[in-house]
Amino acid sequence: MKPNFKLPVAQAFLGGVATDLHDSVAKLPTHVRTGDDSLAVLLEAGERIELKTGDWLFRMGDAGRRLFVVQSGSLDVVVQGVDGHEQTLGRFGPGGVFGEVSFLLGGGRSASVRAHERSVIVGIDWVEGDAAANGRLGLALAAVLAQRLRSNNALLLDLLSDDDGSAAPSSQGVVTTSPTLTADRPQVVVRDAIHLSDLRDIIDGRVLAVRVPGWYTSRQCQQLCRKLLRHPGFSRYSIAPDVGVQRVGYSYFETRGDAERLEHYFDQAVPTIAEIRRVCAPLLIPIDRLRLELDEHWPGGAGLASLGGRKMFVGTSRLFEDGHSLPPHQDILARETTDEVATRLLAQMTVNVYLRTPRGGGELEIWDLIPNEAQVAELYTGDYDFLDSTKLPPSAALIKPGVGELVLMLSNRVHAVRASSGGPRVSMSCFVGSTGEPERLVLWN
C-alpha cells in the first residue's frame, strides 16, 4: 500500500505542526481530542529538522522511538532489493506521518528514509514513563492510521473491481452552462477527436472549452489507474500542503524562483517522465498520445518545452482527495518566469484527461473571464494564487467529465475544481503553449 492516501481528518491532525500546533490540535475531530493541552505540549516538544536533497533521516535497522511528520518537501522510503539495487517503496509529502511502528513498538527501522527534496519535518519522541501522554498521542495517531487504512482499502477494492463497463466507450459526462452564456459568447463544444480547427478556436477565444468524450475507453482508464496509483511519488504539492491534491511529478510553479527547487525540477524532469512510462507500460500514457496527435495536427508540430536550454517535465498525474476543491485561479507561465519561452507565448492551454471520476462532485468550473493584472490584484485571496469566488461573476460552464474524457481550454481563463465525494478523482494533465502556427507547440507542467 502507498503510505500517502490521506483523508481530511488525517490532515487536520498533521497540518501546520511546526507553525501552529495549538490550531492543529483544535482541528482534531471531537472523538479524537482527548486532552488538547497535553497533546499540544507533546507536539510542541517535537524537534524541527531541516534536510537537504539526498540527506538520510535514518537507515534501515537504526534504533529509535521517534515519530515524524512532514511539514514541507517530501521524503522517499527506500529499501535494498534482493538484487542489491535500491528500491523506492513510497514517498511522504506535506502532512505525511511515518515511523509509527518503531515509535509504538520500539526496535529497528524497517526501511530507510531519505529527503527527495529540501524538506522540513518534525520529530516527536516517545516520552518514557508518561503513560497518559503517550496514550493520548497514540489515540490520535491511531485515528490517523485508521483513516489512512480505510482510504487505501476503499481505493483498492474499487480498482480491483471488474465492473467497469468492459471496453465500452466511456461515459459522456455532463455540461451545464450559465443562462448568461448567450449564443454570441464562447461555448463548450463536443468533438470526436482533436482537430486543428478546434485548437485555433481555443487560441483565438472563440470557444470556451473543447470536450472529447471517450478519448480513452473506460477499460484503458481502469488499467492505467491500477498501474499509475502504484507510483511511489504521489504526494501533496510542496508549496500547498493544505490543498488536498496529490500529484506525481514536480510542477514548475512549485519552484517559485528558488534556485534549489529549480535545480530539483530540471534534474527530475526527464527521469520522472520515463518512470511514469515504466510504471504504466505497456499502456501508452495519455500525455504521450497527446504529444503525437498535436504533432500530427499542428502545422509546426509539437514537442517537450525547454527553459534555459533544459527540458521541462510534462505529464502530471493528479489525485483529488474527497472533500477538497481547487478554488478559482489562472495558470500563466509568464508570471513564473521571464524566460523567452514564456514571454513569447501567444496562448497557453491546459489539457486534462480524466482517468477516474468521483461519484459526486468534482466538476470543472469555467468563467468567461480573463482578468488583467490589476483585476487579479483585486480578486486575489492571499492564499497561493487563488481568486475570491465571491467577487467573480457567475461562471459560464460547469463540466462534469466522464471517464476517459479529454478537456482542452485556455489556462488563463479563470477556472476551478469543485469538491468531490466517492473518489478519488484521478487525471493526467499538462500545459500546451503556442507562439504561432509556423512554430511548434510546446508542452510542460
For residue 239, is pLDDT > 70?
A: yes
pLDDT at 243: 81
pLDDT at 186: 81
CB-CB neighbours of 63 under 10 Å: 10
Decide: pTM greater than 0.75. Answer: no
Residue with the larger pLDDT of the pair 156 and 108: 108
Residue with the larger pLDDT of the pair 107 and 348: 348
Identify which of 48, 56, 105, 103 has the alpha carbon closest to the alpha carbon of residue 77: 56
pLDDT at 57: 92
pLDDT average, residue stretch 8-20: 29
Q: Are 4 and 92 in contact (CB under 8 A)?
A: yes
pLDDT at 39: 35
Longest Cα separation, the chain: 74
Rounded to whole angstroms, the Cα distance separating 182 from 287 reads: 33
Identify which of 444, 427, 442, 397 has the alpha carbon closest to the alpha carbon of residue 210: 397
pLDDT average, residue stretch 128-138: 67
Q: How confident is the model at residue 409 (pLDDT cuts 50, 70, 90)?
A: very high
Percentage of the chain beyond pLDDT 70 is 76
Pairing verdict, β 425-434 and 306-307: unpaired
Phi, psi (deg, nearest 5) at residue 359:
-70, -30
